[in-house]
Each structure stands twice: as C-alpha cells, then as structure tokens.
Structure 1
C-alpha cells in the first residue's frame, strides 16, 4: 500500500447552518448543527485512507473531550494516530463554521492545541517510512523541518497552505515541494506577478490551482491540464478543498488503483483532476468538513456525469 502521512491541524468542528448572517446587533436562527472532526490534515488523512492509502496524521489535540472525539473518529476511519500528540492541560482547537444558504462559510475558532506540536515531539521514522508527506496549514518552522526530513529521505512532499497563507511567511517552501495546491486567491499571494506556467518552468514541481465550482488546472513543465467543475448545488463548502486534495493525491500516488507510483506523472493529471473535482463537488453537497465521498460513490458519480455529458 501507498503510505501517506499528513501534517497540520486536527480540530473539532461545530457546523451551524443559518439562512443568512445577522446584521450588527441582530440575530440569526440556526437551522441545523453538526459536530465532527475537522482540520485539513485530519480531513485529508481520513479521506485518503478511504481511497486505498495507508494514512497517518501528525499534529496535536488537547487533553479534553473534543480531543478524545477527534482522535477516536480518525482511528475509526483507519488513520494511524500514533503521531497525534495529546497536549496536557490544553484545549483542542474548536472551529465554529457558520454556513449560509449558498453554502459559503465563515469560520470562528480558538487557538487551541493544534499548533502545539513541534518536530521535537516526532519520531522522524514516521516521515522517513512514508511514501508521501502532505503538509497543510501549520507554523512555518514546523512545515519547513518536516519537509526537510522528507526530502532527506527521498519522500515526495505536497503542500496546501490554506487561507492563512497571506498571514504567514513560509519563505521559499512553496517553491521546494513536489506538489503545491492553491486556490485562486492563494495563487495571487504565492505567485505574485508570476504566471503559473512560468512558476514551474524548468522544474520538476507541479502546481494545482483550484477554481472552486469552475474546476481546476494543473501546471507542470511538461503540460498544462484543465478540467471543468461539476454542476452541483453546494450545501457546505467546508472541507471540499481537502476532499479535492485527497482525491488528486490518491490518483497520482497510485493509491486509487492499488499500485504505488514511483514518480508523479503528467499522464495521470487529467484523470486525477476529474476525480479530485468529483470528490470536492460531492463533499460540498454535504454538511460538515469530514464529507469526502467514498471511492465507490465518486466513481459512480463520474459514470453518471459522463453519461449526461
């Protein structure tokens, strides 16, 4: 099996659905509530475990009920949680996700324990024994050191820095990973005035730019591959990007087909994008962050869409 280790945030999410956000000094009625595990590292690990990979997660939770629940849920989903640190006398990070009628999300959260983890807490063999390391939002120094361990061991690295990219200085780390995931807003920050194709020209790096409902594009020195999105009615876009990343990684690493890939191949990009777009679209049609579809459901979705197209 392909072993994928993710690193970053492990949260407990409370999703609240409202018709619209209230005006100042106003009030909005909550139409539904959902509680589940969240955090990009946890979401990708849980999804890719369902897509045929052996998955593990690196991060930290508090010594409290949300931390216990988040750990138990990951373990239930088949994720190795041996490198998930429990921080004594600390609270697990809890995110309150306010979702409006259009499926758009506003996030409120406490700092909590999800960045208490440091590389000093980690047995390096957790990374060295992996086939791939997927970095998500976390302290830049932690991401840099984890990437260094992976590179020294010949482990490929992907990075999805998320919405806090503009607030953090990751230095040249985004330029030194094998695979970088960005949405359009993040690409404007990370690439500045450089065109995506120019950013990867003459390198072995792969850049995936997500366009939300309009699909995504992969840029590499070999090719530019575009794939349109799917026409769905979004309910909650929380976690859709994580489902997309898990689907894409599962294909290019070979987990989806049960055959490990030694390299990330341009020939897989078209299929990887189509599957990733399907995973993201289906996740957006469900409430909560941990809503990536099963592999069987994603494949059925693609068959149905192909027949319509």
Structure 2
C-alpha cells in the first residue's frame, strides 16, 4: 500500500474485562458476576473492525502499552484486515475497560490505563490523515491530538471527510479527552457529528436543545445575518437514543428513525458499529447514499452486533447486513 487506507480512525485499541452481572449496581449497592471474561474493544478499534468486516480498507491511529494487554491488542489486530502500522507502543499501562453487563444487555463502563491518553501524532501520522479520504475521531481522544487532527484535515489540499463521535458527556471528557472548545471547532469542521442522549444533553443542555441548535446552525449557512447561530460549517448530525431509535438533522431538516428490534444480548459497542455503518454509507464510494438508506444500514449493523456478546464478536459482514435488511423489507 503506497498511501494510507481510505479510512483512518483515531481511537483506543483496548482489552475489555467483561463482567456478566446480576444487575447494574446503584450507589452503595452491589451485584454478582456470574461470568468474568476478556474481549477486544476500544472505540477506535471497534469502528475499524466494523468497517473491515464490511469490506472496507481502514487503518487505526492509536497507542498501547508495552505490556500483556498491549501485546494481545496488537496480535488481535494483526489477525484482522485493519492496518495497525500507526499503532505505537509506549511504557504507560495499556488502556483497558471494565464492562458491567446485566441480563437485559445494559452496561456500565469504567476505563483505566494511560497509553491512549499519551498518544501524540508524529509528522507521518499527520501526513496520512491529510492524505486519506475519511477520518473518524472520538471524543475520548486527548485534546491535543484532536486539535492536531483538525489542523491536518483543515490544511489538506483535498480535505478528507471528518466524522466525530462525542462519545461521552463533557464532564467525563474534561481532562481526559476532547475539551469543549475543541468540540466546538469539530462541530464546524466535521461532515458528520454523532452523539448519544447523555453526551448531547451534557454539551447542548438537553436532547431537544441539541436538535434545535444544530438545525438552526445548518439553516444559517450562507446567511451572514444569522452567523451567530453557527455560520457555514455545522455538519449533518445523528443523535442516538439506543433502542428508541435516532434523530437525524441534515440541511436544517429533522427526521426520526426507529431502531431495529432484535433479541439483544449485549449493547456494548453498538454505537461504534452504528458510526461505522454511517461512514461506510455516507463517506465511502463518494457518499452517494441518501440519509434514510444510510441510517437504516447503520442501524442494521448496530442491531446485528447486539445479538452477540462483546463489542466486536457480532460485527456483521456486508452480506449479513443486506440479508438482515431484506428480511425486513428494506
């Protein structure tokens, strides 16, 4: 390969320590773990592996520790089609997550390890990001790296499409991931913005406020009298509501879409699978797929992944997604 793959994701490659618990504990409460195991995860790796399963050429920019967790993550990526040549190794403990998953598939996640937080982009990383066709960035990315990605994308002669997933509430990201000021820059620079209910509410002041503000900013494009609403750079946005579906804001118009109902086993990684489906439909092949078809395809990728345990084990191939949609008359 003479250049970077058509899609580059910046995000963690982690080992998930997975606890199948009787219930998600309340404050001062407890739970019993009927099973404890490990699986592969990390937002960046989840998106990459999902795109790889869909047949896309994709690479990961990340950092792992020089320890057992990092070794296992690199060995796993080597067995996939993901280009892991931009995954560096440092002395800090590898990023890893403890995931509590209850019988209904709901989960709580605690992340530890400094390896991804210490990621820094070198000149070769910046050149690759500027030369690729699409870039994915998560809100868990260290702020200095997010700003470096923005600089690389914005300075490119032919800028790649940029997808940004807010990933978590702002108070969770401050000091650990992308800061509010940089999030605002990303809102203006990105082609796709994705946020779940909790993350959107924390940044915009509520889910309804998020929809209203994004739609108003999109409608203000090219209108200098309304530049205070967001100018000419706010992206197509998708606000996800879990099993309750998603809200799409595109060109100032708001549309609601249902999620596919499946026998959910584990929702871990569903959001990452959904984002990968959007990148596949809206960015790859020139982005010729319409809003509705892109959302339904991405929702199918996420739904199928929920029928298996762990973040990556149930990620479907393109044929499996198309068969799933055909069964449902799509």
Q: Counterpart in 2 of 1:198?
A: 216
Q: 2:55 aligns with which of 32, 52, 57?
A: 52
**1:143: how far off?**
0.6
Q: Is the 8 A contact 1:55 1:80 kept in 2?
A: yes
Structure 1 range deviating more: 40-49 or 138-147:
138-147
Distance 1:212 1:277 in 2: 10
Q: Counterpart in 1 of 2:185?
A: 173
Distance 1:208 1:21 in 2: 28
Q: Counterpart in 1 of 2:298?
A: 276
Q: Is the 8 A contact 1:200 1:221 kept in 2?
A: yes
Q: Say if 2:321 is the partner of 1:294.
A: no
SS at match of 2:99: strand
Superposition CA RMSD, Å: 2.3
Q: Is the 8 A contact 2:270 2:303 kept in 1?
A: yes
TM-score when scaled to structure 2? Answer: 0.83
C-alpha distance after superposition, 1:8-42 (max 9, x if no partner) = 22211111111224578876432333322211011
Distance 1:2 1:85 in 2: 17
C-alpha distance after superposition, 1:206-227 (max 9, x if no partner) = 1111121122222122643432
SS at match of 2:329: helix
SS at match of 2:195: strand
Distance 2:5 2:294 in 1: 16
Structure 1 range deviating more: 115-124 or 99-108:
115-124
Q: Say if 2:7 is the partner of 1:4.
A: yes
Which aligned pairs between 1:135-150 and structure 2 lie closer than 5 A?
Answer: 135-136=137-138, 137-150=140-153
Q: How many residues align?
A: 298
Q: 2:268 aligns with which of 238, 252, 261?
A: 238
Q: Counterpart in 1 of 2:224?
A: none
Distance 2:319 2:27 in 1: 45
SS at match of 2:152: helix
Which aligned pairs between 1:182-193 and structure 2 lie closer than 5 A?
Answer: 182-192=195-205, 193=209
Q: Say if 2:148 is the partner of 1:125.
A: no
Q: 1:159 aligns with which of 134, 157, 164?
A: 164
Structure 2: unaligned runs, 5 residues or longer: 222-231
Q: Per the alignment, do residues 253 and 73 of structure 1 end up closer, same or farther by CA in structure 2, a change over 3 Å counting? A: same
Q: Is the 8 A contact 1:56 1:79 kept in 2?
A: yes
C-alpha distance after superposition, 1:127-165 (max 9, x if no partner) = 122101100121122111112101211112111121143
TM-score when scaled to structure 1? Answer: 0.88
**1:103: how far off?**
0.9
Q: Per the alignment, do residues 129 and 75 of structure 1 end up closer, same or farther by CA in structure 2, a change over 3 Å counting? A: farther
Q: Counterpart in 2 of 1:257?
A: none
Q: Per the alignment, do residues 218 and 108 of structure 1 end up closer, same or farther by CA in structure 2, a change over 3 Å counting? A: same
C-alpha distance after superposition, 1:258-291 (max 9, x if no partner) = xx20xx45x5211110011111112122111113
Q: Is the 8 A contact 1:158 1:180 kept in 2?
A: yes
Distance 1:144 1:216 in 2: 28
Distance 1:151 1:208 in 2: 22
Structure 1 range deviating more: 221-230 or 178-187:
221-230
